[in-house]
Chains A and B, each alone.
Chain A
Amino acid sequence: MKEIQYKYHPDHLKNSEPNKYQERDLLPGQMIINIGPQHPSTHGVLRLEVLTDGEVVLDVVPHLGYLHRCFEKHAESLTYPQVIPYVDRMDYLAAMNSEHVYAMGVERMLGITEQIPKRVEYIRVLVAELNRLASHFVALGTYALDIGAFTPFLWMMRDREHILRLLEWTSGARMLYNYIWIGGLYYDLPVGFEERCAEFVTYLKPKLIELNQLVMDNKIFVERTANIGVLDPDLAINYGVSGPMLRGSGLAYDLRKVDGYAVYSEIDFDIPVGQGLMGTVGDCWDRTYVRVQECQESLKIIAQCLEKLTMDYKRDRDFDPRALVPKKIRPKAQDIYVRAENPKGELGFFMRSDGKSDKPSRVKARSACFSNLSIIHEISKGALLADLVAIIGSIDLVLGEVDR
């Protein structure tokens, strides 16, 4: 084994990630508190520089980049299908959703969006919604864990395990699937998947009611989250905040409804919004409420997909999910911005092809968490330090997507 070399110097940290606030500029009573990058409540490798006056937060400066893996640079040296596994690794809790967006983008560049078979589209929506459930479960479970409740985390992990096993059965991997391909799918659903998935839907319905009783109506949880981190919808839009955070502020904006991509226009579901049931519209409780309600909506979508997949577009011996997968992908020269609703918000890809190469000349990922995190200093001003933890949790960060 080669030895890992590193030249230690005490100024390295100061030079590579300098603080915004300096100790010498502090007024009496003020403190700089460093949270992270190795802190469980930052949900990954996020470092926060917090300026406090006693226990009251005055400013929060996020320091990013600890999980930067050069996605955009890598994508420029890979062919279009080879980018998909990298897309998986951005938001590793919702890989199916990210793959879906990317595949849709390249299909639009090739002009084959209309030809994708309905069965493929329904399977895509089905697995994406299953993954959305799994992602929301992690968000809710770890959020309750941040607040100090251990049980919800274990319950959520237990239910998420069923989803991961279903997806593992489909694609062979538990978290990073590479299942949705450009123009089709890796494989059709395994035989018997529809029945098992329907069983899962029946299993999960009472569990979500339990979750509501255990977390959402819990007095301690309400006290910790209601009226904390109130986000005004106008400010949210100005900062490019999207997803459950935007809907928690009371704005019913969901790209699944707005764009109606894939087959979402044929599916019946509602957009839950924050109503300020326990405090003010747009507080941490509302954001969590939206996520819990979205789990119910995802179940509705899954049930409808299963019905379609067993009735109208049922399994067929001759059906080949790879029939449309192009051998050589060389889109004509164009720019495209494709967007879709991920569990965290709007995930978009800006892609440019030069028309000659089979590799994209530029791929830029617009990640939802990146924009959602940028608002943290606005909503945590004046909060207590303990509430800052509640606010970070309610944003539902995945640092893989923030840093890319």
Chain B
Amino acid sequence: MTFDSIVSFIQQELGTEIVLDQKVDHHPGTIYVSAENLVAVCDLLWRSEATYFDFLSCISGIDHGTDSNYFEVNYQLNSLPHGHQLAISVLLEKPSEGLPTIPTVSYIWKTALWHERETYDLMGINFLGHPDMRRILLPADWKGHPLRKDAINPEYYHGIKVAYDRSEEAAKSWEG
């Protein structure tokens, strides 16, 4: 199926207002949906024979920057039998406190189990309903989420200096 026919299929099944935005010039074509409708869309795409997206390639969390009020989660879907691809993006507003939340898709595609953990670990996005939401790459007692644009490294971790010291004094002490 082409991108347009997938989009019209979703709109036909779930209503026209469900696709908030579509970007044809992205590769693969991207649709924007809201966080509430994400599971319904994913479930439809996975269940329907016409689309049958059985392979979730990648989940990426994106920080829109310090001057913007949004995070984004991007899902890359692939259908092995049909050979078509689709990207789904969800915009999440930055909450005043706590982590932004989005429902999990890990019971549709198990790939999401680890990819969502990684997104939580590095970007600080909470996936509601995930069976095992722990950090995966960083140590469990690490503070903060380093892929955020405003992330600040802690000065010390277990007594080890974290920040790379670029001062001339430090350079001299290494050379000497």
A binds B: yes
Chain A residues contacting B136 (CB-CB under 8 Å) are 64-65
What count of chain B residues pass the 8 Å CB interface test?
A: 47
CB distance from B168 to the nearest CB of A (A): 14
A239 with B111, Cβ < 8 A, contacts A6-B158, A364-B60 known: yes
Interface residues of A in 39-92 (CB under 8 A from B): 64-65, 68, 70, 72-73
Contact B137 A68 (CB under 8 A): yes
Chain A residues contacting B18 (CB-CB under 8 Å) are none
Contact A337 B27 (CB under 8 A): yes
CB distance from A352 to the nearest CB of B (A): 6
Contact B139 A17 (CB under 8 A): yes
A5 with B159, Cβ < 8 A, contacts A334-B26, A337-B87 known: yes
Bound Cα distance A218, B27 (Å)? 47
A337 with B58, Cβ < 8 A, contacts A70-B146, A238-B109, A350-B74 known: yes
A366 with B58, Cβ < 8 A, contacts A9-B158, A335-B23 known: yes
Q: Does B76 count as interface, using CB distance less than 8 angstroms?
A: yes
Contact B111 A350 (CB under 8 A): no
Bound Cα distance A374, B112 (Å)? 10
Q: Does A362 count as interface, using CB distance less than 8 angstroms?
A: yes
Contact B62 A362 (CB under 8 A): yes
Give chain A's interface secondary structure class: mixed
Contact A240 B174 (CB under 8 A): no
Interface residues of A in 317-346 (CB under 8 A from B): 334-339, 346
Chain B residues contacting A238 (CB-CB under 8 Å) are 54, 109-111
Q: How many A-B residue pairs have CB under 8 A?
A: 113
Contact B57 A346 (CB under 8 A): yes
Contact B140 A18 (CB under 8 A): yes
Chain B residues contacting A4 (CB-CB under 8 Å) are 160
Instruction: Name the residue on B nearest A240 (C-beta).
Output: B111
Provide the B61-94 mask, 1 if CB < 8 A to any CB of A, else 0.
0110100000000101000100101010100000
Q: Does B138 count as interface, using CB distance less than 8 angstroms?
A: yes
Bound Cα distance A239, B27 (Å)? 23
Provide the A120-144 mask, 1 if CB < 8 A to any CB of B, else 0.
0000000000000000000000000
16 pairs across A/B with beta carbons < 8 Å? A2-B170, A4-B160, A6-B159, A6-B160, A72-B147, A235-B110, A238-B109, A240-B115, A251-B80, A337-B76, A338-B27, A348-B76, A361-B62, A366-B76, A370-B118, A374-B114
A-B contact sample (17 more), CB < 8 A, given A16-B158, A374-B111: A2-B170, A5-B161, A6-B160, A15-B139, A17-B139, A68-B137, A70-B146, A237-B54, A335-B26, A337-B27, A339-B57, A348-B58, A350-B76, A366-B58, A371-B114, A371-B115, A374-B113
Residues on B lying within 8 angstroms of A by beta carbon are 23, 25-28, 30, 54-58, 60, 62-63, 65, 74, 76, 80, 83, 85, 87, 89, 109-111, 113-115, 118, 122, 136-142, 146-147, 158-161, 170, 173-174, 176
Residues on A lying within 8 angstroms of B by beta carbon are 1-2, 4-7, 9, 12, 15-18, 64-65, 68, 70, 72-73, 108, 235, 237-240, 251, 253, 258, 334-339, 346, 348, 350, 352, 361-362, 364, 366, 370-371, 374, 403-404
